[in-house]
Structure formats: structure tokens, C-alpha cells
Structure 1
Amino acid sequence: MSRLRLPRRLLLGAALAPVAAQAAGTVGGGPAPEVSAFAEHRLALQLSESEPHRQDLVLSVANNVLKAYGPDKVAIEVVAFGPGIDLLRAESPRRSEVDSLVSQGVRFDLCLNTVETIARETGQRPALNPHAIPVEAGVVQLMTLAEAGYILVRP
């Protein structure tokens, strides 16, 4: 084997490793986004505040984007962390709106770091919407989505 080929192979392997890890769902500590083969647009919505008007904005943006492009042409992922996980609590007054968006293909990611912090502080894990998809860290999930071509919006 020539000296020139070995470094190229190593470089190619190193360059493809993050892509393979992301495809396997290991980057970001959460599942890799499942995007429709027909999705032409990718949107990540950050929710890190618990205020009702902020939750309404996130839900409204998701609904408006779905109306504009149609559920088959857009992939939407809401990433909730910190106080933003209040939207994904089982008793959330917006639960039916979240469930309706889930039925249209919107994903709701839930930061496990936040859940564990709440459990440590209160002595129990909060009851959560069963549609919420756990990810290790919300910010890392946002970074992973951005690297996968999602546009990040913080309404």
C-alpha cells in the first residue's frame, strides 16, 4: 500500500464517521430525525420558555408552516428544554394542540437533562406527554438538526 493512499482512506473514513453516526441516530444523544423523502423544507423550533404566549407562538408557527407547505413537504421538529418542557407535560392545557400536530408529522423533542434536573429538585419525574421524544440534551439536538440542514427558529 502506498503512503499516499493510506492517508486518503483515513481522511475519508474520518470525514464519513459523523455522517454514519448521525444516520445511526447517535449524534446529539437523540434519535436521528426521520424526514419524509418528499420533505423539501426542514424547520427546528426552539422552545426554552414556559410563558403561554411563547408556547402559542411555537404551535402557531408549526401550524402555519404546515398549511403553507403541506405535511408531506416539510419536516418540523420542536425542541423543548429548560422551562420550555412545560408544553410537553401530561397536564398541559395545550396537549390537544400538540397531539394534533404530532398526528400531522411534527416531532416534539424533550430534553432529558431538564427532566433529570426536575427529578433531582422535586424528588419525582414530571408526568409527560407520551408523544414527546426524549433526547439527551435539547441544545445538542438543535445543533444536530442544524447540521442536518434544518433552519432554526426561536419564535
Structure 2
Amino acid sequence: MLKLVRTFFLTLASLLLVTATSPALAADASMADYKYVLHISDMDPSKQDLILNNARNLLDAYPPGDVDVEIVAYGPGLRLLFADNVNAKRVESLAMSGVRFSACGNTLKGMTQQLGYAPKLNPAAKVVPGGIVRIGELVKQGYIYVRP
């Protein structure tokens, strides 16, 4: 009987470990043939436009489902993902088309300390612990790294 209970709990623990993936890793199981991570660390509006144009061009270049695109914003580039950014509607539109937006938690923490309040992010943005770490995770999973 003790052996049966032990086997049950070991099986249950194994299932929990397999199904309890972090949100950051959930998107990493992409079935797309082409995977790109785009990086923005600059608050220059022309670079923000460029990164969004690159994402749109990638979506347009491949049949639906064949491409996976994630934009990672950190440092001054995090401003692209502020709710009041001039590109907020474009960010939301790209998100509706499947582009993921990762906001660096380290940068957000620093900006919050500097400003005295947490900046409001675009609802399309998902906070990740670190922008550079996120880029590294994606590159390790075979994503093509693009820094316009």
C-alpha cells in the first residue's frame, strides 16, 4: 500500500512539473518554421518605427502560422511599450496579428524608482524578468536575432 501511494505521488509530481511551464516559456513551443526576436533598446522614434515595420514585414513575408515574431524592449526602448506611446495602436495591431511584446522587468523597476511611479504599459506588453535574458532564451531556442 505504501508503495502504491508513493508511486501515485511521484507520478502526480512529475505531471505537475511537466505542465507547470512559466508564461515566458509557453510561447517558446512555437510550431512556426521561422522565428525572429527583434530588439529595441533605443527611444529614437525612427528606430521604433523601424522595429514595428520589420515585424509587419515579417508577418507579410510568410504564410500565416509560418513565422513567429517577438519584440523585446529594454532600456530607453521600453518607451515603445508605454501605453501613451505614439505607436500604441500599431503595437496593439501587431499583437492582434500574433507578434509578442516583451517588456524588461529590470528596466521597468529602474524607471519606476526614477519616476516615483510605475509607467503604464501597453496591454499588449508582457513583463519578463530581463530583456537581455529573454533574447538569450529565444536565441537558444533557434530564434533569429535582429537588431535594426
So what's the TM-score if we normalise by structure 1? Answer: 0.79
Of the candidates 54, 57, 67, which is equivalent to residue 50 of structure 2? 57
1:134 is matched with: 127
So what's the TM-score if we normalise by structure 2? Answer: 0.83
Runs of 5+ unmatched residues, structure 2: 1-16
What count of residue pairs does the alignment treat as equivalent?
A: 130
- Within a 5 Å distance, the mapping from 1:37-52 to structure 2 comes to 37=31, 39-52=32-45
**Displacement of 1:33:** 5.0
What value does the CA root-mean-square deviation take over the aligned residues? Answer: 1.7
Task: Kindly provide the CA deviation profile for residues 71-93 of structure 1, in whole angstroms up to 9, marking residues without a partner as x.
Answer: 31100000000001111001011
**What secondary structure is seen at the aligned counterpart in 1 of 2:103?**
strand
- Within a 5 Å distance, the mapping from 1:5-154 to structure 2 comes to 24-25=21-22, 31-32=24-25, 34=27, 35-37=29-31, 39-154=32-147
Indicate how the Cα distance of structure 1 residues 42 and 137 shifts in structure 2: closer, same or farther if over 3 A, else same.
same
CA contact (8 A) 1:45 1:58 kept: yes
% of aligned pairs identical? 40
4+ residue runs of structure 1 moved beyond 4 angstroms? none
Runs of 5+ unmatched residues, structure 1: 1-19
